[in-house]
Amino acid sequence: MRGKRNGRTRSRLMTSSLRILTAACLAVAITYLCNYVVIYRWYRGEAVQARRESFSQLVLQLTDMETNIEAITGIVSSNRTVLDYLNAEVLEGRWEQFREIESLASDLVRLNDSIASVCVRSRGGEVIAMVGPVFARIPEISQEGGMQIFSDCVTIPGTSTNYFYVVIPSYQKASSGLYEKVGSTALLFSSKELQETLDMTVSGLTQEDNSLLVLDRSGEVLAQAGSVSLWEEYCEAGDSGPFLCLREELPYSGWSVVHVMRQNFYLSDYTNLVQIVNAVTSLIVLFALVCMCFLMYRCVIRPIRAQMAFVANYTRDMSQRMEVSGTNDFGELEKEFNEMLDRIASLNRQVLQEQEKIYRLEDAKRQTELIACKNQINPHFMYNTLECIRGMALYEGEKEIASLTTALSRMLQYNFRGSEITSVHGEVRSIQDYAVIISYRFMGKIVVETKAEPETLGCRMPKMLLQPLVENAVHHGVEPKRTQGTVTLSVALKNAMLRIEVRDDGVGMDEETLERQRAKLELRALADQEEGEGIGVANVARRLRLFYGEAARLSLESEEGAGTFFVIELPTDVPDQPGKE
């Protein structure tokens, strides 16, 4: 059975270890998943932020391009040649200025090769001059506030390049001092510069996963770089697809710059990094857990199993001791365990010796009980003898002898019969019988008085508790006195306690003797009480402690030449078990 129990214990230890290892691996897996999700989200935000910053740089470049276009258009609209051409009233005058317009257009083309043509319109919106290699119809543009207006996409049949117009009004100062509109200038730009900017941006990216576009206000494509099919997929799927779309409007033209990219593109580097970091971290943690489990088995489980095996086999040979395995905590535990076994062996030997003593005492007690049973007839013989004496005294008319014999007989019956517990009434009546005997013995020199309040007579108390105090007052207090003396016993209730006072007007004690007697009566030092002097009072103190514990109090007051005063305070009833309150 012990072998089976040891096998079950080892199995439980191994099962617990495997459970701990499984829980640790599960914790590592959960931690891996949590880390992957958290870090993935964090890196995803970082990746999106990086793409937004790159996109913002592209928007700034296109904004600078718009600023340059506006500057060129403004210079042309306020050029003197253009203003003179607009102010010419006859065809001959304009023909003479047209050559200068052509020269201006050729200069602009050399300045910016994106300019395809220059168009001058009259105050009424009629085209009065158009110079350049490419011509296209100017779309209807609502021009408000006298600012540059960027048109939507302009397509020219036979060409693959998209164009757009930038129109700006021309103003001239009139004789009144105010500026009046004399016409407008429209420059036709190709999307070449836009395309080059987008191509340069997308060149550093994976083109099949990126699509860069510039859309006009109507949504037409002005310029596009990267994957055309990606843009078409995005338009079909919308925001629900696996795409990231960045969009921002240019401040001057109102066009939109759009960057569409696949998620696997902008998250690929970060996702791989997260997976590598998580994998390495998890492997390190898992290796640490395996090492920890191995160390736990070697340093904890194996010593515990050895100790359990020792405990299981200890009952076969109680003289054996555990082998100390080292200086660690288990080694200290094994040392303490061996010391404990040594102490247990020593205590067992002491217990055996004490049991032997107890057996001897029990044998002596049985012998004493046999002797007591043999002598049990003696009290009955004494009672019968006293009754005979009392009867003879009454027959002879000696009432005092009869009274004395009656008191003595009642005292003996009270002392030898009944239980250890009595009432205050029985104890006081026994003191009254004792007072009769003392009065006859000392011929009236010593008087013993008793006072008990009626409500105290039914209270229970230990038997023979008051007679030693009264007898002590008679023999040690009043008897040495040459004149008449009085011993007073009073019983009363005070603060729910039974207060018993024994007072005499005898010789008393000096301070030194009083302190010595008080020390002997200390409840905690009663075991050191010496035989002889004050043995009756010491017995009262012992019994009080036995029956009431700390609930009872015994105090002593005395003054040399003035008498002695004993006070006992105890509960109104005796506990069921001595020594317990």
Q: Above 60 in pLDDT, residue 145?
A: no
In the chain, how many domains are there? 2
What would the mean pLDDT of 194-213 be, rounded to a whole number?
85
Mean pLDDT of 456-472: 87
Exposed, middle or buried: residue 217 (CB in 10 Å: 0-12, 13-18, 19+)? middle
Average pLDDT, integer, range 458-473: 87
Choose one of 289, 323, 355: the last residue of a domain. 289
Q: What share of the chain has pLDDT > 90, as a percent?
A: 8
Q: Which of 259, 289, 319 is the last residue of a domain?
A: 289
- Between 466 and 24, residue with greater pLDDT: 466
Give pTM, 2 decimals.
0.44
Can you give the pLDDT at residue 375? 46
Can you give the CATH number for the domain in which 127 is found? 3.30.450.20
Q: Is residue 482 within 8 Å of residue 464, measured between CB atoms?
A: no
Give the residue carrying structure tokens 């009290």. Answer: 379
* 268, part of any domain: yes
Give the pLDDT score at 208. 77
Average pLDDT over residues 267-276: 61
pLDDT at 50 over 50: yes
pLDDT score of 564: 92
- 185 within a domain of the structure (yes/no): yes
Least confident residue range of 137-146, 421-430, 468-477: 137-146
Taking each helix axis from N to C end, the angle separating 302-314 and 2-77, rounded to the nearest 10 degrees, works out to 160
The pLDDT assigned to 542 comes to 79
d(CA 46, CA 313): 66
For 253-322, the DSSP string reads: T--EEEEEEEHHHHHHHHHHHHHHHHHHHHHHHHHHHHHHHHHHIIIIIHHHHHHHHHHHHHTT-TT--P
Mean of per-residue pLDDT scores for the chain: 77
For residue 528, pLDDT over 60 is answered with no
Q: Is residue 439 part of a domain?
A: no
Report the range out of 143-152, 256-265, 451-460, 541-550 with the highest average pLDDT: 451-460
Can you tell me which residue has the tokens 């506990």?
Answer: 575
Q: What is the pLDDT of residue 500?
A: 93
Q: What is the pLDDT of residue 504?
A: 92
Is residue 66 one of the residues assigned to a domain?
Answer: yes
C-alpha angle 501-504-506 in degrees, rounded to nearest 5: 155
pLDDT of 526 reads: 47
- Asked, for residue 431, whether it belongs to a domain, the answer is no
pLDDT at 367: 56
Domain holding 476, by residue range, is: 444-570
**Partners of 350 in the β-ladder:** none
Residue 531 counted as domain residue: yes
Kindly indicate the confidence band of residue 531, based on its pLDDT and cuts at 50, 70 and 90. Answer: very low
Cα 199 from Cα 197, distance rounded (Å)? 6
pLDDT of 261 > 70? The answer is: yes
Mean pLDDT for 65-94 is 79
Joined tokens for residue 337: 């365990």
**pLDDT surpasses 70 at 360:** no
pLDDT of 220 over the 80 cut: yes
What pLDDT is stored for residue 404 in this prediction? 72
Q: Write the pLDDT tens digit of every residue in 402-437.
A: 677 777 777 776 666 666 788 888 888 888 888 888
Q: Where residue 450 sits, what CATH number does that domain have? A: 3.30.565.10
Q: What percent of the chain has pLDDT over 70?
A: 73
pLDDT (average), residues 496-501:
90
Higher pLDDT pick, 207 / 126: 126
pLDDT tens for 541-580 read: 877 877 787 888 888 898 888 899 999 999 887 765 454 4
**Percentage helix, strand, coil, to 5, in the chain?**
55, 20, 25
> Where a domain ends, among 232, 255, 289?
289
Q: CA–CA separation, 540 vs 554, rounded Å?
A: 9
In a domain, 575, yes or no: no
Query: In 3D, which of 128, 171, 165 has the Cα closest to residue 149?
Result: 165
pLDDT digits (tens, 9 = 90+) for 317-332: 777 777 776 666 667 7
Most confidently predicted of 99-113, 285-299, 424-438 = 424-438
Residue 533's pLDDT is 42
Residue 271, token pair as written in the block:
């996702």
Residue 385: inside a domain, yes or no? no
